[in-house]
A and B are shown apart, each in its own frame.
Chain A
Amino acid sequence: MQRLLRDPQALITGGLLLLITFAGLLAPVLSQHDPNQASLEAVNVAMGSPGHPIGGDANGRDIFARLLASINTAAISAIICSSIALVLGTVGGLIGGYFDKFRNASEWAFTLIMTFPGLLVLILLTPITRGDFRFTMAMFGVLLSPSIYRIVRNLTVAVSRELYVDAAKVSGLTNFRILARHVLSVVRGPIIVAAAFMFGSAISVQSGLAFLGLGSKETPSFGAMIAEGFRNFYISPLQYLWPALALGVINGALVLFGNALRDVLEGARPKPAPIVSKAAVDAARFDGLKPSGAALVDVRDLGVAYRMSQDEQKEVVRGVSFSVEPGETLGLVGESGSGKTQTAFAILGVLPAEAIVTRGSIVLDGNQVIGAKEREMRVLRGASVAYIPQEPMSNLDPVYTVGSQLVEGMRASTSESRGAAKARALDLLRRVGIADPERTFRSYPHQISGGMAQRVLIAGAIASKPRLLIADEPTTALDVTVQAEILDLLRDLQAEFGMGLLLVTHNFGVVADICDRVAVMRQGELVEIGNVEEIFSSPQHEYTKSLLDSILDEETVRKDPPVATVAGRAS
């Protein structure tokens, strides 16, 4: 609530809306005439005439009084419509989302409501509403309820699957209390935002219908006033202006208020910051002039940060330096949050838009990566460096076949024809251990298993014969039996192609299996780096020691008290 008050957009528009609403409520006090009272001397009278601050309309009624009364009509329309939509949609969504057995019925009911052709229905059912706008708005509320239903249902389904709801059930909370407490609190935000936009819709629709002349003549509304003003345009153009302006302002304020509400309640999207600070680019350029030897990639003093708020940023990679030689495997080890994946992304140039590279230099295959343009990076990606992601399924485009994605990746780095690329892709699939390459080539990602998907991604990475391969926890998402096979595959491929391999992992078993050297990261810093044998036999840093100690071993029974690690856990 306080955040809402601090947001200028919300404050201004919200305040304006409150002001307008109060003006409407105070109508009898503020205006001297009844909105429907017609008097001959007030016909088309100009602005500023005594007793008629904004003039009189073609029927001799006071425009100011009518404007204020129209505000009330609009407010009532909005409230009736939104309440019905909210109550119907929320109850339906809660029940349909939470109780599986009712879901079919609720889906049917709301799909049925959605099939009524909107505005048309409101017009066609005039015979039974007899022009009473409140009845019409109630019907509109019913027609709008499916959109609320969908929001509530989706959120309820998502929440009901969360583990804490199972916990609540187990501890004996009734369904009603679970719904009320957990689900409603999540659903509150989006509903409030939806309500704000519905207010706008209701007012617009009611105005539209009144404009058409479907409402009762007794009810003053913006729509009716606009219609009259339109008819009178040549005689007195201002009569059209005031209601139009009022409607526009109210509508606009509601939309802007809704947007501000949404930003506050659902969180604004992170604003992208420039990837690299100028100082870093200059320093890096200078650094890149120094020959870096034969190393495939030479990372020096890399710093990557994210903006936390207007003034502060948090560094997630703090001055990391290492290099990878051709033919060697370097393991980059650390717990979650240690910054190892961010480092990998920095090398590839695929950090998210909000990341800022604060310092350092990355020389990849003789090219400086920090500050490099996308064009230059594209040349490097595929041929100089390639990436195997951690989660196989989410890293394949679901709407294209596996084969077409492979071919596309290959043709981005080489100039092969489609036929040649396809033949090579099938070869690669065979090489990475897929039993039926043809079938896999034709399959969609959702039709293959996780292990196969990981092999496909490996095939995609090595397709353009990269000099450096970055594998990001390539076995974490897989079954134990498959893990060993994948590691063997990587080792063979490395030997065959002479690649350098940067293996990001939190698993020391994997490190012991295939790495030559190891770099240990904690909270963004590199705490130790060296040969695998040395690190395992005589770790120098406290953190490395505690990591190695915490590897569970069947023979060892833990005797030490449960102290996690050296002070300052990465979180």
Chain B
Amino acid sequence: MHISDAAQQPVPMPPATKGLSSERTAYLDGLLSKARNAAAVFTQYTQQDVDRIVKPMVVAGLEQAQHLARLAVEETKLGVLEDKALKNMVATEFVYNYVKDKRTVGAIREFPERGLVEVAEPIGIILSLTPITNPTSTVLFKCIMAIKTRNAVIFSPHPNAWGCCHEAVRIMYETAVKHGAPEGVFSCLESHDLEDNAYLMHHSDIGLIDATGGPGVVKAAYSSGKPALGVGAGNTPVYLEKTADLNMAVVDILTSKTFDNGTICASEQTVVIDDEIYDLVLKKFTDLGAHVCNEKETKILERTVIDPATGFMQPKAVGQKATDIARMVGIFVKPDTKMLIAPILGVGREHPLSVEKLFPVLSVYRAKSVGEALKVCVDVNHAGGLGHTAVVFSRNDEVIRQFSDVINAGRIIVNSPGSIGAFGGVYNDMVPTFSFGCGTGGGNSTTDNVNIYHYLNIKRVARRTQAHMWFRVPNQIYFNLNAVENLRQVASSSTIIITNPAMEQMGHVDVVRRHLPPQTLVHLSVIPDAEPEVKTILQGVETLNFYKADQIIALGGGSVIDAAKIMKLKYESPDADLEELAAPFMDIRKRVVEYPTEKVHRARLIAISTTSGTGSEVTPFAVLTDKARGRKVTLADYSLTPDIAIVDPQFVMSMPKVLTADTGIDCLTHALEAAVSIHASPYTDSSAMQAIRLVFKYLPMSYAHPHDEEARSMMHNAACIAAIAFSNAAVGVNHALAHAFGARFGVSHGRANALMLPHVMVYNASVPSKFMPSPNQKGYVAHKKYATIADLLGLGGNTVDDKVKKLVAATEQLLDQLAIPRSIADLGISREEFEAAMPELAKIAFDDPSWRSNPRMPLVSELVELFWLAYEGRALGKTVVVPQSKAR
């Protein structure tokens, strides 16, 4: 309901109501008070209650259809008794047929698989303005809709249709109340006064204005500032195309245009006829009782039935018979003439008959081509008919499609009469209505056939859903010493080994070569030992094409493996646009760009990692440097994941100590961030936790004793396992900071991670200033996850806080053991230089997608603070003073 407590304030009198007497105001307030009480009481009714009321109302409407039609014709002097009776029957029986099984109380629609329920809430009081052209049928229709949706209605009929509408409201009201509707549910203004409408339209108790009528009424409704359904004038273009069933089309148009003497605003106004069939169509119309006007008669019509001053139809002609109009204007026609046809040569003010004519005068236009016909239809559509109704008769689906594309109409009626077709439920399966929404083109809020759902506030009850999760790993992972021997199992006729010069010098390439099947032709592609550039990729793709490779072996660290992933992508799908594929995304399942699935070539990618950190051999990521544009882009897609990963420690036995430390901490950071990520799952947790356990045990050993095979092997496994975790759970704010800092100051990725790590752990373990939306997690769990890790490592502690502190301390101790500098200051970066870089650092870190899976949503100011904590060093108990000058 719209009524709010704030609405208890006195209603300010709008300018248009200043002339209302106090008696009149009291009368209107009385109507409102009764309607308010009825609407409030109505909220208690069940679906069964309202359905029990609706059915007898429909029966009453059917029983009184002819009586009301007679009253309407007598009072309005418009239309045809028989047609009005038919309209009353459609407004009751057809509408009932549509609404009878619809739920309009409580839960009206349920989508269990989406966790969604739609619940109906009545609007309250509806002010309904009804037209002269369809007076009683509109009242019957709106009464049925209102009861079905538990709303009260105050009717304000057209002044020249007040009596018949009042009677229709009385019949509906008495029947409704007799069957249980609350007293006061319907009322009808006792007399018509524009100031009454203005007062009611602006009254705070009115929840919705449903105005059916002319442009003035509709405009007033929308201008009131109230929610409104204002549906009004049209100008229906019809395209009668040469493939149409002409007999059917002619009868349909005649039926529609003469129905109730053309008073329905959806009726045909201008028929555009293909040249080839024009004469035949006019003959068929004539045979069935139409009179085709000659040039002189058309001129007479133009200046008599259309007001030359306004360009609109003359009210005196509305709803009159064709013979009466002919007599009125002085045209001689046969006594049984049903319709006057006036050929026109164009659309617009200079062609007066091209406008809406709510009487049986039909304009016709001869079109030389489909193109011309469609253009004229567009012209008619734009001459007062936007958003309303249009009709096409054709058997050519392409013509129907073109017509539907270019015409702006809420109802495009195909091969059927416009007026009766637009009602819905008779000639088609549209929703039955007596109120045609005309969309924004017609200044309306909807293009729908107005129906019960427009009389409801629909509440969506949305239950929490769990996003579908995934856990994807390469097909095959071979690990432990001499795992490279498994290369013998994979057949290839042409293999390219992508590597860097160091691997060749260290003899690793020979080891790989030795283990390939003897029949394999092997070629070497040596690339620089740096993050791959576009140029490098394209050269590599050339090599792959030249040798028609069916297998790629990437032997090296993260950069080499990343290069091989991108080369494979471009080799298999040459049209892949790397720039486009690197577009940012929030959720990999919903991102905008799609990786190619069409492949020109197919090649197996085997990744043999020679460092124990990035885990690139199992990840779906690849970083590319675009030197020309001075930036790095990250490609991410599971199609980039290598087909086979070989995790053989023999390739890392000779890693230098610094590299061992830096890559080892990179691996730890992957695992810790995956563990607390908002995308963490039991699957990723198992990998992340195990990787952390391995790092704490074996990283100090492999650092201190580089030739310890077991330690090297376990660290190599740890890197791979951590990568499996973060490939599926992603990383966090630590990586965002490290990416920005590392790139700006030329610090290795692992070391940059190490400098941030303890601070980020403390940050994530504390109460967030901003929570990250995470539907898959119940509550904030990062600190508890850290505590679980502390337990796993046997660090002790009695409370979650204790355990987090012990884990941070253990991490710091590990960093110390690896002789990693503990502050950015220790790297020799001056405070001034760091401060100067801070705005850009913070901006880049915030733009980095890595933090999007972090448990805390970082504020820019928090990123700045974390940078400064890293600058100062040491996490526990440390506070820093963030320089304010350039903090943002």
A binds B: no
A-binding residues in B (CB < 8 A): none
B-binding residues in A (CB < 8 A): none
